[in-house]
Structure 1
Amino acid sequence: MILVTGATGTIGSEVVRRLAARGEKVRALTRDPAKARVPSGVESVPGHHRDRASVEAAMAGAQAAFLVGVFGPGEAEHDRGLVAAARAAGVRRIVKLSSIGTGDPELGVFATWHMPGEEAVRDSGLEWTILRPSSFASNTLNWAAAVREGAPAPNMMGDGKQGVVDPRDIAEIAVAALLDPAHSGRTYTLTGPETLSAHEQAAVLGEVLGRAVPLHDLSPEERREQLLSAGLGEAYADSLMAAARFISEGGNDIVAEDVPQVLGRPARTYRSWAGDHRDAFAPAD
């Protein structure tokens, strides 16, 4: 049995799908199993990473677990709790989804979000793998509504480049680490094959769609207002603002070789992702 937390999220849902396709026994932890769309044969159980009792119940009988426990500041207790629950349940192997730049003092507070969870994973005594992905290619789905309407999409990152990574590559490596002990004790930095700015991504997306994808570069004031309007607290917004500055100043202009080394093939490009998801940006009929 392999438990997948965050099972309906961007990475977790793909991990579930890939494990099920391989015939593995999978349990998906989700807030509302009745609404979760999971492959046939996958067991959905109710729970949330902030609800320790539900996590402990979901871990029962699992031999491996994919851990997704940080969605903002203040999650350290719950991130460590996932690891503690796995140990208590007798789970042998854990794979933690972290973030690129974790521990980098130049990144500011954002770099500390995953540190307690990573430390708990390394100190767990279990077989462990940590995944540190860069910016998801799927983040540009946030542009979809504007693109469909022909309006400029918001750009929070200025001209900063990032090693945009396809979530499918992250999930494929997560599955490999869940199934193969050869990945134990490794921390993988996951990027695409090139770094791209938001404007370069928009240009690629425009070529794929056959129409221009204009962007509106948000000022720092606009960025913060947008984050606060989304319901994020001031500490959360300030952390993301600092991360955006770090990126805009070139701090995440990184291409790592872990994806091709683990998968034995080149990392997928943003163009490939955009081509496979063009329907999400198509104008409404």
Structure 2
Amino acid sequence: MIVVTGATGNVGRPLTRALTEAGQQVTAVSRHTAAVPDGVRHLTADLARPAELKPALAGAAALFLLLSGNLHAAGHRPADLIAEAAAAGVRRVVLLSSQGVATRPFGPTRIALRELEDTLRASGLEWAVLRPGGFASNALWWAESVRAQGLVAAPFGDVGVPIVDPADIAAVAAACLLEDRHAGGVYELTGPEVITPRQQAAAIADALGTPVRFHELTRAEARAAMSRVMPAELADDTLDILGAPNPAELRVGPDVERVLGRAPRPFSAWAARNVAAFRADRV
């Protein structure tokens, strides 16, 4: 049995589906009650209280560990989640980390994630670490303004990075959970091309078949909005990358293709697949 945390999110949903289609028993864990595929057990747990994960881990062979934004704030102890997994007899943990652990090692949230990676390596468990860059699904932040106003508002409109489709992250995670050959692997996950927020807005417009305007936010405006849904230090670390990516953050990595045997999906494919979220007539 495989436990998937963050199971109702943009990575967890396709991962749960992929594991189920591979014939695995899956326990989906989220903070709130949610619909899951047929045959999947769903449990609620707040990972900020690691003991709440115990019922899900009983009898589990593997764990996909995804930390919600609040767990990146000071005062939380995500390493306790790994201790709970080890105590429950879990054999393998696949951790969703961040590209910034390598490219921005001194950012406050990156230091915490590196410490978590180090805890996992020292745990005695089998492990793999996924380090994605920016997620294509972050464009869902714009869905409401696109529906209401035909508008994307974002900072750094002409600065791009090779954002990755969460479905590709999920596919790599499934491979790491199921295949022994990925034990001890650290995978940097990117999309196939550098793409700017302005270009993302154009791709959404193409998927919709209607114009979408772009408005550039200041860094301060973007930080204020992001800080309402994530710790301020995580917002700052993210904006540092989006505003001035370094050469490592601009690099299109080979690891999605190396693991999956195919190129990563472009943002345009993500936009076409998720176009309903941006339609003004969405029910």
TM-score by length of 1: 0.91
What corresponds to 1:248 in structure 2?
Answer: 243
Structure 1: stretches of 5+ with no match in the other structure = none
Q: Aligned partner of 2:22: which letter?
A: R
Q: Once the two structures are superposed, what CA deviation does each residue of 1:23-52 show, in whole Å capped at 9, x if it has no partner?
A: 2111112223xx311111111122121122
Give the structure 2 partner of residue 125 of structure 1: 124
After superposition, the Cα gap between the structure-2 partners of 1:268 and 1:133, relative to the gap in structure 1 and judged at 3 Å, is: same
Question: What is the CA–CA distance in structure 2 between the aligned matches of 1:157 and 1:76, rounded to whole Å?
Answer: 31
Tell me, yes or no, if structure 1 residue 281 matches structure 2 residue 278. Answer: yes
In the TM superposition, residue 254 of structure 1 has moved relative to its aligned partner by 2.3
- Identical-pair percentage: 38
| Further displaced range: 147-156 or 195-204 | 147-156
Question: Which residue of 2 is the match for residue 16 of structure 1?
Answer: 16
Aligned residue identity for 1:237: A
**CA contact 1:69–1:82 (8 Å) conserved in 2:** no
Matched AA of 1:25:
Q
CA contact (8 A) 1:70 1:79 kept: no
The Cα offsets for residues 200-259 of structure 1, whole Å up to 9 and x where unpaired, read as 11122222222222222111232233234x265xxx324423431332123332210000
Alignment of 1:1-285 (within 5 A): 1-32=1-32, 35-72=33-70, 73-74=72-73, 77-105=76-104, 108-228=107-227, 230=228, 236-251=231-246, 252-284=249-281
For structure 1, which segment, 136-145 or 237-246, has the greater mean C-alpha deviation from structure 2 after superposition?
A: 237-246
CA contact (8 A) 2:109 2:233 kept: no
- Aligned partner letter, 1:40: D
Structure 2: gaps spanning 5 or more residues? none
Q: Distance in 2 between matches of 1:88 and 1:75?
A: 25
Maintained 8 Å contact 1:25/1:42: yes
Contact 2:147 2:279 in 1 (8 A): yes
Q: Give 2:117's aligned amino acid.
A: E
Q: 1:107–1:243: 8 Å Cα contact kept in structure 2?
A: no
| Distance in 2 between residues matched to 1:70 and 1:124, nearest whole Å | 22
Give the 3 Å change call, closer, same or farther, for CA 17–78 of structure 1 in structure 2. farther
Task: Report how far residue 174 of structure 1 moved.
Answer: 0.5
Do the aligned partners of residues 216 and 282 (structure 1) sit closer, same or farther apart at CA in structure 2, a change above 3 Å counting? same
Moved more, 61-70 or 102-111: 102-111
Contact 2:73–2:233, Cα closer than 8 Å, also in 1: no
Quick one: structure 1 residues 76 and 272, their matched pair in 2 at CA, closer, same or farther if it must change by over 3 Å?
Answer: farther
Question: Distance between the aligned counterparts of 1:42 and 1:75, measured in 2?
Answer: 33
Shift of 1:181: 1.1
Contact 2:63 2:90 (C-alpha < 8 Å) held by counterparts: yes
RMSD: 1.9
Please give the alpha-carbon distance, in whole angstroms, between the structure 1 residues aligned to 2:106 and 2:151. Answer: 28
Summarize the Cα distance change of 1:75–1:26 in structure 2 as closer, same or farther, 3 Å threshold. Answer: farther
Aligned length: 279
CA separation of 1:75 and 1:116: change in aligned 2, threshold 3 A: farther
Structure 2 counterpart of 1:91, one-letter code: V
Find the residue that maps to 1:164 and give its secondary structure: coil
Q: Determine the C-alpha separation between the residues in 2 that align with 1:237 and 1:157.
A: 18
Checking the alignment, whether the CA contact within 8 Å between 1:108 and 1:243 is kept in structure 2 is no
Q: Distance in 1 between matches of 2:99 and 2:75?
A: 17
**Code of the aligned partner of 2:120:** V
Q: Tell me, in whole angstroms, the C-alpha distance in 1 between the residues paired with 2:256 and 2:96.
A: 15
Contact 1:79 1:116 in 2 (8 A): no
**CA distance in 1 between partners of 2:74 and 2:123 (Å):** 18
